[in-house]
Amino acid sequence: MDIEQMLSAHLKQFESAPFLFVGSGFSRRYLGLEDWHGLLRRFASFSEKPYEYYLSSTKDGRPEQIASMLADEFHSFWFQNDVFKESREKSISQVVDRSSPLKIEISNYLADKTYIAGQSSALDAEINALKEVSKNGSIDGIITTNWDTLLEHLFADAGFQKYIGQKELLFSNPKEIAEIYKIHGCCTNPNSLVLTEEDYRHFNDRNPYLAAKLLTIFIEHPVLFIGYSISDENIQSILGSITTCLTNENIEKLQDRLIFLERTKDGETDSFYDAPMVINTTNLPITRIRASSFEPVYKALARYKRKYPVKVMRKMKNQIYDLILNNDPRGQMHAVMDLERDDVDLSEVEFVVGVGITQQLASKGYESISAKELFEGVIFETDLDPEQVVLKTIPQVLQRDGFIPIFKYVADSRIPVNELDEKIRIRLDVDFDYFITQTTRSKGSHIRGYYTTIEHMQKDYPLHMTIEFIPLLGEENINRAELLAFITENFKLIESKEQVIRSNFRKLIRIYDYLENSPRLVR
């Protein structure tokens, strides 16, 4: 079976480049790392008790529970034993709780792990093919639960930006191009590791927010899972959080986008086939690849070649660009640099395209930002300067449209409410009932008290009615992560030709803005 040809043809149906979702099997394959129990067993050797003591003292031998017990005992050993004297002196400032010493030593162990070429010609071929993926900029990003730095090294030349942990991902502004999301932490930041039972509890508490952040990736990109079993709890949990945000109709949109790569077992032949995956009683359509060598898979990915390096494309998406001041009264753009010339040093490229005609545009441009851009900024975390938006944009837009989201921009600006323009202060002095019209109350009088989630409501009402009735769930019942996922999934409705749908959808964004950001206002 020609896996390379089949996967290449499969990926051609999508307009966007793939994301990789990489698990521990990847590190075991190329770095020879232990599985989770093996890693904990290594550090249990410093204890007076055998690993079996910890294994038998936990419910079902769950490794995160073992890690919690081991971390508690390792704390004392680390501070008292000369084996760790040098490490202690170097890393003492990183100790923030009892689990820190174990995380520090695990991180030190992983930091030294690199791929060693020449030990396996088959693995060398796979790594070389994966380097071509990096060289060609064939993927938009990587999501991983791995702690080691192999992926960063493989994609270093492509200029991939790394986000460590849920917190950094959730509160940053990722561009979904040339990025690595290390959602379980990284050995370069020991305290970021999701290791103990408490760490997993904190991680799972934020899982709905992470799912909302990843939802657009799963909807817009093919996602190739490498190094995971389909039954992996991490994958089951994340996919479960994502599927709860989707209707059956939209789950079908994931058809062909989720691709699981697995190693063949003894006696099996390579295969490429569709199969459902059950998540929370929902049949999720996935494509499965079973292969003895991953080289054809990486070669299929490498066939996707960008015209420009991803590091340049990331800059194009990430920065606000200026034009050289010119005398053209029409403000036409001029080519500043030909990126296809061989003598161009791409590392020196600062600006690629322009968005104005004068050096003063950076300030004056905020007066011409549209209402739609303000709505987008609330949902997609665009690079707008909140202070400029509050002082220049919002007063201008309010003259044309009184129904725009403002809480996020005021909260981010840190400008005290009492120092704002009166038109803005009035719109900040509202409660949740402000967003519900009497007409909606009358039409949906039966909603409140019966429905408690958006998902429940979607089962009984068509999309346009769901959009109108969501506010009737009440402030106490609206889950912000679920609302964000719903808005993200249906964002195109912000420009619906149906005025009522467009108006009600924009109101949902304003409600999300109120719920998420009004508590952060500086009074």
As a 3-state breakdown, the chain gives helix, strand, coil percent values, each rounded to 5, of 55, 10, 35
Instruction: Residue 145: count other Cβ atoms within 10 Å of its Cβ.
Output: 22
Cα 88 from Cα 108, distance rounded (Å): 12
**Residue 180: exposed, middle, or buried by beta-carbon count in 10 A (0-12, 13-18, 19+)?**
buried
Q: In what order do the strands lie in the sheet with 258-263?
A: 161-164, 179-182, 141-144, 19-22, 223-226, 258-263, 282-291, 271-279
Please check whether residue 141 is in contact with residue 178, taking contact to mean a CB–CB distance below 8 angstroms.
yes
For residue 243, report the phi and psi dihedrals to the nearest 5 degrees: -65, -30
For residue 278, report the phi and psi dihedrals to the nearest 5 degrees: -85, 120
For residue 163, report the phi and psi dihedrals to the nearest 5 degrees: -115, 125
Cα 423 from Cα 54, distance rounded (Å): 63
Torsion angle of the four alpha carbons 481, 486, 487, 489, in this order, in degrees rounded to the nearest 10? 120
What tokens were used for 377? 């900024």
Q: CA angle at residue 491 from 388 to 383, to 5 degrees?
A: 25
Provide the H-helix boundaries in 197-309: 197-205, 207-220, 233-243, 248-251, 295-302
What's the DSSP call for residue 461?
S
Cα 23 from Cα 143, distance rounded (Å): 9
Closest CA to 491 of 474, 475, 477, 508: 508
Task: Give kind and range of the element (H or E) at residue 481.
Answer: helix 480-489
pLDDT tens digits, one per residue of 229-281: 888 888 888 888 877 777 777 777 777 899 999 999 888 999 999 988 888 77
Closest CA to 284 of 238, 226, 217: 238
For residue 261, report the phi and psi dihedrals to the nearest 5 degrees: -100, 125
What's the DSSP call for residue 246?
S
Residue 264 falls in which region: left (phi positive, over 0), alpha (psi -120 to 50) or beta: beta
Residue corresponding to tokens 């359509």: 285
pLDDT tens digits, one per residue of 147-182: 999 999 999 888 888 999 887 877 666 677 789 999
Please check whether residue 65 is in contact with residue 190, taking contact to mean a CB–CB distance below 8 angstroms.
no
Please check whether residue 77 is in contact with residue 46, taking contact to mean a CB–CB distance below 8 angstroms.
yes
Please check whether residue 487 is in contact with residue 506, taking contact to mean a CB–CB distance below 8 angstroms.
no
The structure's pTM equals 0.64
Q: Which residues of the chain have pLDDT under 70?
A: 171-174, 306-364
What is the per-residue pLDDT for 314? Answer: 59
What is the per-residue pLDDT for 342? Answer: 47
**Residue 292: exposed, middle, or buried by beta-carbon count in 10 A (0-12, 13-18, 19+)?**
middle
Q: CA angle at residue 480 from 164 to 194, to 5 degrees?
A: 25
